[in-house]
Chain A
Amino acid sequence: MLRLKKLVKTYKTGDQALKSIDLDVPKGQVLALIGPSGAGKSTMIRCINRLVEPTSGEILLDDVDLSKLGSGALRKARREMGMIFQEYALVERLTVMENVLSGRLGYVGFWRSFLRKYPQSDVDEAFRLLDRVGLLHMADKRADELSGGQRQRVGICRALIQNPKLLLVDEPTASLDPKTSRQIMRLITELCQERGLAAIINIHDVALAQMFVPRVVGLRFGEIVYDGLPTGLTPDKLTEIYGEEDWEATIEKVDDEDEIEAAE
């Protein structure tokens, strides 16, 4: 469904963030993108919906090359891709409901959105989604009154109300505690399954990635150095992605946590 062909991003400073990335994401597949800071994970996700302009290469979403779209067509294409952010990126001074409904901005005209006159079907869907993530009672609260986990749930609702085919998820758990991180990852993967959504999840917590996703892609210096099952991430592979370190502890920890989860 999503295909990246020879995607290159070179920043003005001359830094090559992405060096000819080829990646194929089939419909409904959730994959985790791991790699050290500065490997180009964020850049890659932002190139897909062109928050960052790629330097060259093709981004095919259902055979439409996103990299060549004009601004109007790009807006239409962006509606198909929901994005979830590390620091939630909610509009802090708007209510939860307004934040969720802002996911429909690509579908409604300026004045309707300005006057908050969204179609009833959108409002119904917003309530359904808030109920699904357990925040129905918070609909009228201002976004800055919420806790981190709650904000990220609102962020998820905002992405889903776009009715996307693909979720672009940028470090969804980096600002959250371990328990909330798991809940959020579980919620994202469950929702993707329910709706048959594909997702690319940037994550630097390897153990968390291994717990929740069926496919892991490792990025190093803008190149894909691993693409496969989470169980294939041996210490050697992790060394290749991140550099020399004692990886045995990380991988064992995963098993321990799984046992704890199972025991609960």
Chain B
Amino acid sequence: MPVLERNGGHEWRRRTTGESLIRWFGWLIGVAVFVVCWQRISEATTWFFVWDAPRIADDIWSRATPPRWEYITQLGRPIWDTINIATLGTIIALFLAVPVSFLAARNTTPSALFIRPIALLIIVSTRSINSLIWALLLIAIIGPGVFAGVIAIAIRSIGFCAKLLYEAIEEIDQSQVEAITATGASRWQVMAYGIVPQIMPAFAGIAVFRWDINIRESTVLGLVGAGGIGLQLSASLNVLAWPQVSLILLVILAAVVISEWVSAKVRGAII
């Protein structure tokens, strides 16, 4: 923020002339890169298929409507499995995420030098791999089915929950912890009285938020054989049974809407 002295008065401008030039130059390079990339992509695209897209989409739409309503009788069990995968996975993840988050938070970790990096590594590694990939791995290890799905969702969620929770722990009001420590409370009592009440709202919020995400993630797990409604989806796609596909998509949509409504209600009730 340059303040210039001119004619005895002060003049203020947001940027100096040099800074403005640099910014314009930056924009110029950005636009140039965009144009070059666009050309490259264009060369690598078979435009025939793209121009064809509206017609194909229309074709699929006409095949997919109306949905095959009577197929719903076979979807009850899979959608129930999907919800179970999400719920159980979330619960297991929360149990594992709580200790990890306490080990990762700067103000509660027993050792910032050794244990904290390990906890952070757990958080990063579980978070960075998509649950679909976890499911692929786990199916190879423990075989296909709902159990592999539950574990995949659980592992994927540990990092997410632990990260948000340890950030909440680091943001607590330290004076309450001090006050409880000053009474002569033990380490565990300080945790139960000074820290836990402060992070309860965050914990509840994280739990329902992750459950909500997991409902959506678990719908696709079946695509790789980890149980749930995704199994039906991939089967229907393979035999080009478009009316069944559209019904499954509608069921998934309904499940997601309901889960979002439930989590909003729960969050509102707790916070």
Contacts and interface: CB of A to CB of B under 8 A. Distances in A.
Interface of A: 49, 51, 75-79, 81-83, 85, 87, 89-94, 102-107, 110, 113-114, 155, 158, 162, 168
Contact of A105 (B175, B183, B197, B198): B183
A113 B192 contact: yes
Nearest to A113: B189
Contact of A87 (B175, B181, B188): B175
Interface string B213-230: 000000000000000000
A78 B176 CA distance: 16
Contacts of A102: 180, 183, 185, 193
Given A78-B184, A89-B179, A91-B176, 6 more contacts: A79-B184, A82-B183, A90-B176, A91-B197, A106-B183, A113-B192
A85 B181 CA distance: 13
Contacts of B184: 75-79, 105-107, 162
Contacts of A155: 179
Contact of B180 (A82, A105, A168): A105
B188 A79 contact: no
B200 interface: yes
Interface of B: 173, 175-176, 178-186, 188-189, 192-194, 197-198, 200-201
A92 B198 contact: yes
Contact of A51 (B182, B192, B201): B182
A75 B187 CA distance: 10
A85 B175 contact: yes
Given A91-B193, A110-B188, A79 B180 contact: no
Could you say which of B182, B194, B200 has the most chain A C-beta atoms within 10 Å of its C-beta?
Answer: B182
A81 B184 CA distance: 9
A114 B182 CA distance: 18
A25 B183 CA distance: 21
A103 B183 contact: yes
Contact of A85 (B178, B194, B198, B200): B178
B189 A89 contact: no
A162 B182 CA distance: 10
A75 B182 CA distance: 8
Contacts, number: 82
27 contacts: A51-B178, A51-B182, A75-B186, A76-B184, A77-B184, A78-B181, A78-B182, A79-B183, A81-B182, A85-B175, A89-B178, A90-B176, A91-B197, A92-B176, A102-B183, A102-B193, A104-B183, A105-B180, A105-B185, A105-B193, A106-B185, A110-B186, A113-B193, A114-B189, A155-B179, A158-B179, A168-B182
A6 B193 CA distance: 35
Contacts of A113: 185, 189, 192-193
- Lowest 4 A-B CB distances belong to which pairs? A106-B184, A105-B185, A78-B184, A89-B179
A84 to B, nearest CB: 9
Nearest to B180: A102
A49 B200 CA distance: 29
A158 B181 CA distance: 12
Contacts of A83: 179, 182-183
B176 A89 contact: yes
Contacts of B182: 49, 51, 78, 81-83, 168
A85 B189 CA distance: 19
A87 B177 CA distance: 13
A51 B181 contact: yes
A76 B184 CA distance: 6
B181 to A, nearest CB: 6
A82 B181 CA distance: 11
A89 B183 contact: no
Contacts of B183: 78-79, 82-83, 102-106, 158, 162
A125 B200 CA distance: 29
Contacts of A168: 182
B171 to A, nearest CB: 14
Nearest to A108: B189
A110 B193 CA distance: 10
A226 to B, nearest CB: 27
A75 B185 contact: yes
Could you say which of A85, A91, A94, A107 has the most chain B C-beta atoms within 10 Å of its C-beta?
Answer: A91
B192 A110 contact: yes
Nearest to B177: A89
Contacts of B186: 75, 105, 110
Contacts of B197: 91-94
Contacts of B178: 51, 85, 89
Nearest to B181: A51
